Chains A and B, each alone.
Chain A
């Protein structure tokens, strides 16, 4: 490189920049999807050669639609500058101005928790693809407790959350135990259990006392008022962001301390970086595997119950369903954050913003929410290949560490 100043060179080769570039590329992919699936834009491109103004029209239409879509995403997820200005100058409608941010934070809360759980297992060299199933079971357990025990909030809420954690812990125990005692590859076990968990959800919602009394559908009972994570600014404010954000923040801090400062966390990281050396150095691989899955499952379960206690207050058959379910998004967020707690927090905020923004975009332009998921996955695909992003943008990077998990196949 010709005389590029040293500080600039460092910035250019930093992992953070790569992340930004991956995000950009993901948005580009999203643009393509929008172009290819929005009728007016397609029409504009189809008539590309019909007139001299064809190309210009096509490009303008593209920019209009894509721009509108992404603008709606931004204002839906963060803030609408007009609205902000209005609120500042008139002192009114703060609610509608702050709602996007509040929504993003609300969505980010359980997502952060689940993603940190997934990130911890990734750092240990294990793949927890079952966070979705663990979150579902955690949600069920939490609702079971939180909808039936009539206790004061100060006891009921912690117990409800704890029940969620325990639900996740038990679910996480399955792949953990199977892997450490039989060598069963956790990818298949966790993937399969996601489907099982979905069915357990249906079962409990239709055939057990958990079902909403008087309802034939797959809806659960409501959480008692004492088991709710109430909105930060009170229900009257209309802002949904709830006390769960503090839980999420707490999880981030504890996870950071655990991984970076505790001995057990060190053992986790060593196991992830080199399982052979870990074993020879006296680290017990079984203990680590089981603990990692218990922790990860527990966090996923906590995410599940936090979602319920903070927002919906009940669960239905569509809880955390499909590939947009928290468990899968958590994987992508964790990869985006390079499996580190602080990075994961930012990643969760970004993806929550994409999700919330996507909803808003759907409302105003009709583009379905799944586009946001497509963008998320594209970003992650690009993140998983820092080399490729570098090539596209012609950068040389410093150590592209952190993402190369102990690459292994089925052989243990």
Chain B
């Protein structure tokens, strides 16, 4: 099936997310759509999948124009999508999720579970996607959940599979296995449209690469092009792929985590005896695919999640199970993973968000009364120092771009007297310019003698920033290695292989 997008344009108010985009996916082709965060890839895919209607342009399947009223139409035309944020119902089984919307039924509308199971086992076999139809999805590891998503799309007889940033949540080994799956799907005649901003994978698996930037197609590339060429097409200028960093001059440990055990909401110990040190003047990067306990570890550090056993010490002060207030006052800076949910109050002003965790502190308050002049002055200064692009200090922080929102959070944390900065996924969803800025700020903290713990599932970022890299898998630290370690070894550590085996592999 040949799918062509011609002149697709989509606007949201004054923002043009897609501007006359045209591309063609030939049958049996793996076509990559490359672009940085914010370039318009998701919008385009939502148009192709029928979730959005284009303002201009058309979609042609095998030469005939089609239009989709909703994603059901797209599915019926043979387009399947594996979303970046899985569209799986956590409490349903694999089978229920796969057949949802296209359920086999018996009399009286009863679900034919047996047939569903059979169909799934059949598809598993055909495409090499092993899953247990009766497993409950929320109990499954992320890599398997992704397979369920793919099975779902195939169950709908998809001829074109759209994969939206599929590798964001996978270990390097799982990425390899996904690439294998993509190749076998291609061999079975399916086309794949694969969206990413990760240059390495794109070059590994694509037949053709379309690069989009700021809503427009800026060029078509070949996998044989170099990473630097692709990167500069993607961003529009020469991109420094490395971070400037002086030699590490690490001092004594400022944050000491000892044998930490933390349970998740269901009582499972997701942090299972973690011991780590973050030293003054160093960046400790915690690598690992999401879902291995990193989130809960950061929550425990921030005082938001209770610690079952073990200890956390900041410059000698015990902050195990301290309240978030005490943790913050003790000098821990926290850039949360989910900036909209945990880091900002979107409806409030930039000025208010800048003092969100110090509302009672002098000079912002005096005996319980807020001093608005001081708050405003602080806001003006921070906006200037951190180059935050906003209409005014009183503007609602929801009006800022993702990058600027992250700057607000950074500005807030970095202008408090902190001893250690904990930054979880600090550059997620940001454009390259903002990513560079965040990296610079983090390095500056290190330069000033603070300790930095950054948690990231982006291996490139971890390798670029970390003075030491700790790898986390299933709640345990599988190894702490220098940044010169190879990606393969780190990848193995991410899958739980012990450090001896990994280095000998």
Residue ranges of A at the interface with B (Cβ–Cβ < 8 Å): 261-264, 266-267, 269-270, 273-274, 276-284, 399, 401
Q: Does B109 contact A (CB under 8 A)?
A: no
Residue ranges of B at the interface with A (Cβ–Cβ < 8 Å): 302, 304, 323-325, 327-329, 334, 336, 338, 341-348, 352, 356-357, 359-360, 365, 368-370, 372, 396
Distance between B359 CB and nearest chain A CB, rounded to angstroms? 5
Report how far A267 CA is from B361 CA in the complex, Å.
13
The reply to whether B357 and A262 form a contact with Cβ atoms under 8 Å apart is no
Report if A263-B360 is in contact (Cβ < 8 Å); known contacts: A277-B342, A282-B324, A284-B323: yes
Report how far A284 CA is from B325 CA in the complex, Å.
8
Inter-chain contacts of A273 with B (CB < 8 A):
345-348
Inter-chain contacts of B396 with A (CB < 8 A):
399
Inter-chain contacts of A279 with B (CB < 8 A):
304, 324
Q: Which of B302, B304, B344, B359 contacts A267 (CB 8 A)?
A: B359
Inter-chain contacts of B329 with A (CB < 8 A):
282
Report if A263-B302 is in contact (Cβ < 8 Å); known contacts: A280-B343, A282-B324: no
The reply to whether A262 and B342 form a contact with Cβ atoms under 8 Å apart is no
Q: Which of B324, B347, B359 contacts A280 (CB 8 A)?
A: B324
Closest 5 CB pairs of A and B: A282-B325, A281-B357, A280-B342, A274-B345, A263-B365
The reply to whether B370 and A261 form a contact with Cβ atoms under 8 Å apart is yes
The reply to whether A276 and B348 form a contact with Cβ atoms under 8 Å apart is no
Distance between B236 CB and nearest chain A CB, rounded to angstroms? 34
Q: Is the interface of A mostly helix, strand, loop or mixed?
A: helix
Report how far A274 CA is from B353 CA in the complex, Å.
12
The reply to whether B347 and A401 form a contact with Cβ atoms under 8 Å apart is yes
Report how far A266 CA is from B327 CA in the complex, Å.
20
Q: Which of A274, A283, A284 contacts B341 (CB 8 A)?
A: A274
The reply to whether A277 and B343 form a contact with Cβ atoms under 8 Å apart is yes
Q: List 9 A-B contacts (CB under 8 A).
A: A262-B370, A263-B365, A266-B352, A266-B359, A274-B345, A276-B341, A277-B343, A279-B324, A280-B334
Using CB atoms, name the residue of chain A closest to B375: A266
Distance between B119 CB and nearest chain A CB, rounded to angstroms? 34
Inter-chain contacts of A270 with B (CB < 8 A):
345, 348, 356
The reply to whether B368 and A280 form a contact with Cβ atoms under 8 Å apart is no
The reply to whether A261 and B369 form a contact with Cβ atoms under 8 Å apart is yes
Q: Which of A263, A277, A281, A284 contacts B368 (CB 8 A)?
A: A263
Q: Specify which of A263, A266, A278, A281 lies most central, judged by the most chain B CB atoms within 10 Å of its CB.
A: A281
The reply to whether A280 and B304 form a contact with Cβ atoms under 8 Å apart is yes
The reply to whether B344 and A277 form a contact with Cβ atoms under 8 Å apart is yes
Using CB atoms, name the residue of chain A closest to B327: A282
The reply to whether B360 and A277 form a contact with Cβ atoms under 8 Å apart is no
Distance between A198 CB and nearest chain B CB, rounded to angstroms? 38
Distance between B395 CB and nearest chain A CB, rounded to angstroms? 12
The reply to whether A262 and B302 form a contact with Cβ atoms under 8 Å apart is no
Using CB atoms, name the residue of chain A closest to B365: A263
Q: Which of A261, A264, A280 contacts B336 (CB 8 A)?
A: A280
Report how far A259 CA is from B109 CA in the complex, Å.
55
Inter-chain contacts of A280 with B (CB < 8 A):
302, 304, 324, 334, 336, 342-343, 357
Report how far A264 CA is from B341 CA in the complex, Å.
21
Inter-chain contacts of B327 with A (CB < 8 A):
282
The reply to whether B359 and A263 form a contact with Cβ atoms under 8 Å apart is yes
Inter-chain contacts of A262 with B (CB < 8 A):
368-370
Report if A263-B341 is in contact (Cβ < 8 Å); known contacts: A279-B304, A280-B334, A401-B347: no
Report how far A274 CA is from B352 CA in the complex, Å.
13
Inter-chain contacts of A399 with B (CB < 8 A):
396
Distance between A35 CB and nearest chain B CB, rounded to angstroms? 41
Distance between B348 CB and nearest chain A CB, rounded to angstroms? 6
Inter-chain contacts of A276 with B (CB < 8 A):
338, 341-342
Using CB atoms, name the residue of chain A closest to B398: A399
Report how far A277 CA is from B344 CA in the complex, Å.
6
Distance between A410 CB and nearest chain B CB, rounded to angstroms? 16
Distance between B459 CB and nearest chain A CB, rounded to angstroms? 27
Report how far A261 CA is from B341 CA in the complex, Å.
25
Inter-chain contacts of A284 with B (CB < 8 A):
323, 325
Report how far A44 CA is from B151 CA in the complex, Å.
67
Q: Specify which of B325, B338, B372 lies most central, judged by the most chain A CB atoms within 10 Å of its CB.
A: B325
Inter-chain contacts of A283 with B (CB < 8 A):
324-325
Report how far A269 CA is from B357 CA in the complex, Å.
13
